[in-house]
Structure 1
């Protein structure tokens, strides 16, 4: 199925160059405009046009999104939990213990390997364009763009108020208040390959939290990211003396409770790249975190 965006040009837009129309009125990036023009994917009245084309009232402009693409990732038949999908995006509910994208240490068995197989089986010519990522042992929702246009749009909109990423975390101890904002800079030292610290040299990092349940010496928190630094939630909570259960990097390895950090990306809200309508998706708590909560409640 051909995937495209169509515009009907009115008197208001007459006289504009197509490049200006796409960039100024529709927030297309310069890179996307150039790539679409080079691929001969921009049409006026069914004829290929260049970026200097001057619009006329009544023109029907089409920007085709289909193009041949490939990625150096081996497709693998890995079960996927699809939380939402359309022609532009797919949202996956990632289980814990799986890497999102191939690395030197994990060249196979990743979410991206499974997704390329999934696209191939459906006959969709897509590569994996990650809009969000999660640590290997964090579960929950991840957005993947199916084409360059949707990737461009989602990346552009990530700082908008309508774009919300929310997490559930089970932590040791108790927060000072039932809700609040953590505004502490996160820094990566040069000789430290993975771990982050709170340091004034770091980037400003903002996490909003709300206590959902309280136990004898633990809490279930809902966290909303305003910024998206690496390990942000884990670093912030550990620094405040409330490390996440099972977080061996910023707390302790606790196999008696859970075999990974008790952190789950449970909710996503974002403007759809094509029409701006707000997409709301939630993923239920995975079994290992539910079992931990039952232990704490008991």
Structure 2
């Protein structure tokens, strides 16, 4: 097997990297938009693998906080695949994550990407959750059957302990790895994350009979899909609760004049069926999140 040098990326690597990333998907790749930010990332690291001095592989190590690392943007020049480039990048990135103090490292890949899944497992990572991207248009009016029901309300700072207690006994929380997705990056749902989301007005609670019955963590985003509301985590004691939350977010998107609601729906039959019932459609293949505990 050939050997490759892995080193920090340099500005002059850009055009070579973009050339072998040009046809990653039918629409191209996001590496061109991400490159400058990744290269300037002082907390993380952007690595390239080289052969005879030329970049043939890429991987970005992002530090989400002092203890969580995220691997993204793994790319290998098609002419150098199955020669150990990806493994070499992975090992260097994992070693660097530990050196930077990370206790956990994660990555995301499509369920159909067998090579990436095999690499994750070879790197002693294990699956902690999976989701399917769904979307739905804004909804001007809620269905009549929901109009008279209690509405979800933004969480307040004093709700934090109740939210934590709810998640500790949730059936959904452990099956999703306890993760919140901000786009295609997963964060542990920690006290700190919940506090920040509550302060931003991005946590909604649904109560029935004076108890917490469901919740969702959201954010407003803008990108290739225009301006949209995004559900990064949703939970409920039953399908009716989750369905109501899903409908309400569509209505909220209409009130904000947004173009779409998008959601990373846990790949659980009950939750998938509930989103379909709320007139959301799957728009992509399932994704899997892998994790490795470093210490």
- TM-score normalized by the length of structure 1: 0.27
Between 1 and 2, higher relative CO (CA 8 Å, sep ≥ 6) is seen in 2
Q: Identify the structure with the greater strand proportion.
A: 2
Which one has the largest radius of gyration? 1
Greater percentage in helix: 2
